[in-house]
Amino acid sequence: MKKEVSKVVARNKKAQHDYFILETYECGIVLTGTEIKSVRLGKISLQDSYCDMIHHEMYVVGMNIAKYSMGNIFNHEETRNRKLLLHRKEILKLQGQVKQNGYTLIPLEAYFKDGLLKIKIGLCKGKKLFDKREDLKEKDRKRDIEESMKYR
């Protein structure tokens, strides 16, 4: 049996705060040579990025991969649309949920799995301001309980 090794390169920390995450999907991503070299150096940001359907294919929009420092004139654009690799049934299912229910697709984290870059996307519903406040209160309560249990 082959042991799966995964190394997280980037996380979208704001997604937990701004959205309710209903489902998650793992998908591959199409990158050029200089992009993957830059990602291996950790120069990737998922902030302010989202997934969109363009011509019946899923793309991640707004993901920033910094230019590779050792690249030449064939270096990549930093914020171009990058194609995600999903099965056709998954794409159609996600497209239906986004159109009907008003959900959105957000990239949650990027990680290497067996040498390949994978993106975990989440089907999300936006939080209102009072939901965010409730989450912060719950987080504070849990932290207080953990702290009191630590000293017992």
pLDDT for the residue 6: 74
Low-confidence ranges of the chain (pLDDT < 70): 1-5, 152
Give pLDDT tens digits for 67-78: 988 888 888 888
Q: How far is CA 151 from the centre of its chain?
A: 37
pLDDT at 120 (0 to 100):
94
Q: What confidence score (pLDDT) does residue 71 get?
A: 80
* Domain hosting residue 70, numbered range: 7-150
Q: Which pLDDT score, from 0 to 100, does residue 3 have?
A: 60
Domain count, the chain: 1
Sign, Cα dihedral of 38, 39, 41, 47: positive
CATH code of the domain in which 102 resides:
2.40.280.10
State CA 67 to chain mean position distance.
20
Angle at 105 between CA 51 and CA 22, to 5 degrees: 160
In a domain, 2, yes or no: no
Please check whether residue 1 lies inside any domain of the structure. no
Distance CA 36, CA 61 (A): 17
> Would 132 be classed as within a structural domain?
yes
Could you tell me if residue 111 is inside a domain?
A: yes
Res 2: pLDDT: 57
Q: What integer pLDDT is reported at residue 106 of this predicted model?
A: 93
Residue with the two structure tokens 């979208």: 12
